[in-house]
Amino acid sequence: MTAEDTINDMRMRATKHLAEAGSREEIIAWERAFLGPKGELTLFLRRLASLPVDERPTAGRGGNALKTELTEAWNARHAALVAGDLEQRLATDAVDVTLPGRPPILGAAHPVSQMIDELSEIFALLGFQTVFGPEVETAHYNFDVLNIPKDHPARDVWDTFYVDLPGEIVLRTHTSPMQGRVMEQTQPPVRVVVPGRVYRYEAQDASHEWMLHQLEGLAVDRAITMADLKGTLSEMARQLFGSERRTRFRCDFFPFVEPGVDFAVDCAICGGAGCRVCKGSGWLEMGGAGMVHPNVLRAVGYDPDVYSGFAFGLGIERLTMMRSGVDDVRAFAGNDLRFLRQFARAA
C-alpha cells in the first residue's frame, strides 16, 4: 500500500468514527487515537523519513493536509456536542421564576447562649456589667488569689486539667479567676458578671459535665451584706423562673468566701417530688455563693475593714435545665438537631 493509499484509508476511518462519536468523552478518545502524541496520523508523519525518497513529498503534503482537515472536523464536532449538552442541561435545570423562593435554612442561638444573654440582661437591670475572661488561666488567678493554697485538693491533677504543669497553667475550673483580674484593675464599687466555659476533671452524669458554663457574679462596695446577696439571687430566680419557684440557701464552704452558701431552686423537673436530676431531694443546686473572703480582698489591694462584697457562681446549664424542663445536662453538648431546634427562636 502506497503512502497515498494509507492517507486515504486513515481519512475514511477517522471521518466515520468521528461522525459516530456521540459524547464529549468519545471525541476526546478519538482525538487521542488519531491526533494525539501517539495517534495514528502523528506516528505516520514521524515515519516519513523511512519512506522512499520519491514518495516523501506527496506523503508529507497529504499527511499535513489530513491533519488540518481532521483538526477542523474535530473542533466542529466538539463545539456541536458542547452546545447540545448545554441545551439539554438548560432544559433539564430550567427554573420556574413564578414559583415562590425557597427560604434558606437559618441557624439559631444555642440554648446555653440564649441563657447567657438573658442572664446578662437580668443582671444589667440589677446594676451589673458583663465582662469576659480567658479560659486558659494561670494558677495564680485560678487558685492563689482565691485563697486556695497549694495543698488544697482542688488543685490536684485528678480535679483540674493542667495545660503546663511546671508553670501551673490550667483550663480554668471556674469563672472566679476574673474576681482577681477585675478588682486589680478597678476601684470599688465593683459589680460584674462573668459568663463562660469552665472545665472539671469529673465523671459525667445527668447533672454533671466535664465542660460546662458558669456565670460568676461579684459585687464589692462599702457595707455590702449577706442580705444583698440573697436579694440579688432571689430576684434573679424570680425573673428567670417566675414567682412560683422557691429558693433555698444553705451553709456551705468555699475557700474564697466566708460565710459561704449553696444556692438551690426547687426542682422544676419533678415539682419537688424527687427525681434523678435532683437526686431525689426535690432541690437542684444552681451554684455556690457567699461573702468575699477578706484574704481575697487583701490579695488585690482592697482593705477588708473598709470594703465588703459578695460573689456567686451559677451553673448555666443547670439554669437552662430548670427553665426548659430538660432532664439531662449532656443533651446541651450532644449537638442533636432535633433537640436544639426546640429552642430556636423565631426571627
Tell me how far apart the alpha carbons of residues 170 and 163 are, in angstroms, rounded to a whole number. Answer: 5
Question: What SS3 state is found at 267?
Answer: coil
From 158, 227, 345, 347, the catalytic residue: 158
| Under 8 Å between Cβ of 317 and 332 | yes
Q: Is 158 a catalytic residue?
A: yes
Q: Is 78 a catalytic residue?
A: no
Q: Is 311 a catalytic residue?
A: yes
Residue from 129, 270, 259 nearest 195 by CA = 129
From 182, 237, 311, 329, the catalytic residue: 311
Q: Is 214 a catalytic residue?
A: yes
The DSSP element (H or E) to which 176 belongs, if any, is none
From 155, 172, 174, 181, the catalytic residue: 174
Q: Is 17 a catalytic residue?
A: no
From 59, 112, 257, 277, the catalytic residue: 257
Query: Rounded to whole angstroms, what are the CA distances from 78 to 19, 21, 37, 90?
Result: 11, 10, 19, 18
DSSP string computed for 109-167 = --HHHHHHHHHHHHHHHTTPEE----SEEEHHHHTGGGT--TT-GGGSTTTS-EEETTT
Residue from 162, 189, 148 nearest 306 by CA = 189
The DSSP element (H or E) to which 268 belongs, if any, is none
Tell me how far apart the alpha carbons of residues 302 and 299 are, in angstroms, rounded to a whole number. Answer: 8
Beta-sheet pairing, 247-254 with 257-266: antiparallel
From 170, 214, 261, 293, the catalytic residue: 214
Instruction: Give, as one character, the DSSP assignment of residue 205.
Output: B
Tell me how far apart the alpha carbons of residues 147 and 259 are, in angstroms, rounded to a whole number. Answer: 14
Tell me how far apart the alpha carbons of residues 84 and 105 are, in angstroms, rounded to a whole number. Answer: 35
Q: Residue 328's Cα: distance from chain center in Å?
A: 21
From 56, 200, 238, 246, the catalytic residue: 200
Beta-sheet pairing, 190-199 with 129-130: parallel
Q: Is 187 a catalytic residue?
A: no
- Residues identified as active-site: 158, 174, 200, 214, 257, 311
